[in-house]
Amino acid sequence: MYTYFNFKSPLQRYRFPFCVAVVFLLVCLPCFQATIPGNDTPINAMDKNNQPVNKKISLEEAIKTAIEKNPQLQSTRDQIDAAIGSLRQSRLYPNPVLELLAEEIPSSELGLNQSQNLVGITQPIITGGKRGLGIKVSEKSKEKNELERDSVLLAVIADTKKAFYKAVAGQEGFAIAKKVEEIAKGIYESEKRRFDAGEVAVTNVLRAEVELSKARNSVSDAEGDLQNSIKELQTVMGIPEETIDGVIGKLLTKLGELSLHELELNMKSNQPFLKASKKNIEIAETQLLLEKRLSIPDINVSAGYKRLSLENVDTVQMGIEIPAPFFNRNQGNIQKGKALSRKAKSENRSVYNELLFQLRKNFNSYNVERKRVIEYRDRILPRAEESLKLITKGYREGEFNYIDLLDAQRTWAETRILYIESLKNLNLLIADIERLAVTKIGRR
């Protein structure tokens, strides 16, 4: 008789609860790690593009991003790479031509035993310094592309600054609109309390309510303008799909007088767009010289070995081939080169005149806008601020009526908005002058 004992090890006996505990730990452990006691560091939320929410950027960050990701600037870099390839190609010498020829092969016996067999090589020889001139044209074209890249770089930086300043002004305008809404709400609530107490007519409450509605609409408009400015900044930076909630910075305010003479000298010496225009003259003149040299024919030198199978004789052949320039002496291209050279010089003068006009125009606008900013900052704004405070205090004490308070509020808001608008225009002019004169203006 056999007796069987049903014995289970502790692990087998508690296998199911053990598995449940393991699964629970695997699922819940990450949650425990995110809420470790004593760790007060917030976890930054990320959007679908792995960008932090509530992201705000500074002017330096915006310029750095634009330099890295602006597609127009990247296009100029690709153009330089193409110019480097053209320069590399221009330095290559023409390939020799190998020739294998079998003549007089008998139709009764196919093969090379009864034929005349030739093995030769022909090498073109470039004369008149045409190869060196071609290399020089490619080098100058590469230099011109580099100057055009620098010009686009200045334009991208200026556009980034202007978009950034618009965003800063948009934030300032939004803050003013919110302040006006707060004032209008306070007036409305005050008038409503006074109406409930029987101190004012219902028309005061209705007017205050209308002003509050206008203030709220102004907040919506300011918010829309701010969002459009941020979208413009993102587009210039080359990141239209990313999320930016605002900018960190202020508009330039402490700006002194500028010297037009110094700005013109800087532009004439450092403006890459003007330098690129001058480089076009050099390219055109070098190309014209090359076209004149192309009337000199190149030489083809050939050498070879020829086997006369029937005579059992080995021979050597040599030859020189020189085209006779009786009809085509490159007259048309020479005429074209002269015209293009004159055209490049005319375009250079036109570019300089246009840049000089833009610089002088922005310089005059800068002086006008600077005086306006100083007037607002030193005289108009302080008086509007003081007037609002006095009338608000007097309104609370019963010295002024609702109309007086409303006028003071409107004056304060309008002067603040006009000041921000003037300051924004001044900063936009600064960005353009910096681009034209290739210089740095002002400080924060």
Give per-10-residue mean pLDDT for the chain (444 aa): 38 43 42 35 42 75 96 95 96 94 75 78 94 96 97 97 96 93 88 86 88 93 95 95 90 88 96 97 97 94 86 88 92 96 97 97 96 93 92 84 84 92 95 96 64
Measured between alpha carbons, how far is 440 from 431 in angstroms, rounded to an integer?
9
Residue 272 resides in a domain: yes
Domain that holds residue 252: 56-92+126-295+330-437
Q: How far apart are the first and last CA of the chain?
A: 102
Residue 345 resides in a domain: yes
Return the CATH number at 190: 1.20.1600.10
For residue 238, report the phi and psi dihedrals to the nearest 5 degrees. 90, 20
Measured between alpha carbons, how far is 315 from 303 in angstroms, rounded to an integer?
11
Dihedral of CA atoms 410, 413, 414, 419 in degrees, nearest 10, equals: 160
Residue 164 resides in a domain: yes
Residue 206 resides in a domain: yes
Residue 358 resides in a domain: yes
Long-range contacts of 224-229 (CB under 8 A, 24+ apart): 225/170, 225/173, 225/174, 226/167, 226/170, 226/171, 226/173, 226/174, 228/170, 229/163, 229/166, 229/167, 229/169, 229/170
* Distant-in-sequence, close-in-space partners of 59: CB < 8 Å, separation ≥ 6: 160, 161, 164, 247, 249
What pLDDT does 27 receive? 40
Q: Which of 61, 79, 75 is nearest to 239 (CA)?
A: 61
What pLDDT does 39 receive? 35
How many other CB atoms are there within 10 angstroms of residue 30's CB atom? 8
CA geometry: angle at 332 spanning 326 and 337, to 5°?
130
How many other CB atoms are there within 10 angstroms of residue 284's CB atom? 22
Measured between alpha carbons, how far is 114 from 292 in angstroms, rounded to an integer?
50
Query: Residue 291, class by beta-carbon neighbours within 10 Å (0-12 exposed, 13-18 middle, 19+ buried)?
Result: buried
Residue 157 resides in a domain: yes
The CA-atom distances, in angstroms, between 121 and each of 298, 305, 315, 318 are: 16, 9, 15, 10
Q: Which of 427, 141, 155, 95 is nearest to 290 (CA)?
A: 141
Residue 203 resides in a domain: yes
What pLDDT does 274 receive? 97
Measured between alpha carbons, how far is 63 from 161 in angstroms, rounded to an integer?
8
Q: Yes or no: say if 70 and 237 are a contact pair by the CB < 8 Å rule.
A: yes
Residue 110 resides in a domain: no
What does the block give as tokens for 348?
A: 């250079």
* Distant-in-sequence, close-in-space partners of 202: CB < 8 Å, separation ≥ 6: 195
The CA-atom distances, in angstroms, between 131 and each of 27, 145, 299 are: 73, 21, 13
For residue 420, report the phi and psi dihedrals to the nearest 5 degrees. -65, -40
Question: How many CA atoms are closer than 13 Å to the CA of 154, on its beta-carbon side?
Answer: 21
What does the block give as tokens for 323?
A: 């085209």
Q: Yes or no: say if 137 and 396 are a contact pair by the CB < 8 Å rule.
A: no
Q: Which of 439, 68, 25 is nearest to 239 (CA)?
A: 68
For residue 259, report the phi and psi dihedrals to the nearest 5 degrees. -105, 115
What pLDDT does 443 receive? 53
Q: Yes or no: say if 380 and 415 are a contact pair by the CB < 8 Å rule.
A: yes
Our count of domains for the chain comes to: 1
